[in-house]
Amino acid sequence: MIDKRSAVILFSVVAVAALLSGVALTVYAADNEEEAPVMPIFREWWRAVKGRWGPGGGCVGRLEVSDDYKANVMAIAESDADIQELLASGYSIVGVRPIVTSIVDADGDVVTRASSAIVLLAKEDTTGHAWARVDLDAGKVTKIVIVSRTVIDKT
C-alpha cells in the first residue's frame, strides 16, 4: 500500500516532469518555425544549447572561448545604443556564449563557425537579467530580451 507521503512525492515528480517536457516541446516547436507561444528566454536558451545537445547532435563537451572572441562580441554589444542604456542603468555584462553552427557540405566536409553569440547581462541588485544576440558577420546586436523581477516583501 502506498502511504500519503509517497503518493504526494510521486505526484510532484510527475507534475515537474510534465511541466519540463511541455516547455521543451514548446521551445523545440518554436525553434523549428512551427506556431507555438514561447517565452523568449526559453527560445534563446534552446538556440544557445541546441548545437551541443539538440537534434542531430550529441554532447560535444565544453567550449573554450578565446579572449579575442569575447572582446570582439563585447565591443559590438557595447557599441549598441540599447545596450549602453542597460549598462548605464546598472546592468553589467556577465558572460558571452557563442552560438556554434556546423554545416555539412555535399562532399561531407564539416564547417563549424560561431558567427553569433549571446551576451548575458545582469543587474547589480539582481532584479533584472538580459540577453543580447550579437551577429558577428553583420557587426550588430539583432535582439535583446530583458527579464525583470519585482519582489514585494510583506513581512
The CATH number linked to 66 is 3.10.450
Q: Is residue 84 part of a domain?
A: yes
Q: Is residue 141 part of a domain?
A: yes
Q: Is residue 125 part of a domain?
A: yes
Q: Is residue 77 part of a domain?
A: yes
Cell triple for residue 40? Answer: 523568449
Under the banding of pLDDT at 50, 70 and 90, the label for residue 21 is: confident
Q: Is residue 70 part of a domain?
A: yes
Residues 6+ apart with CB under 8 A from 102: 51, 57, 110, 111, 112
* pLDDT tens string 45-96: 556 555 544 444 444 456 788 999 999 999 999 999 999 999 999 999 998 9
Range of the domain at 124: 61-148
Is the distance from CB of 90 to CB of 75 less than 8 angstroms?
Answer: no
Is the distance from CB of 27 to CB of 43 less than 8 angstroms?
Answer: yes
Q: Is residue 81 part of a domain?
A: yes
Cell triple for residue 11? Answer: 505526484
Q: Is residue 101 part of a domain?
A: yes
Strands in the chain per DSSP E: 91-104, 110-123, 128-135, 140-148
How many of the other CB atoms lie within 10 Å of CB of 11?
A: 10
Q: How many domains is the chain built from?
A: 1
* pLDDT tens string 27-45: 655 555 544 444 555 555 5
Q: Is residue 46 part of a domain?
A: no
User: How large a percentage of the chain has pLDDT more than 90?
Assistant: 32
State the sign of the Cα–Cα–Cα–Cα dihedral 51, 128, 33, 82. negative
* Side-chain-facing half-sphere of 151: CA atoms under 13 Å: 6
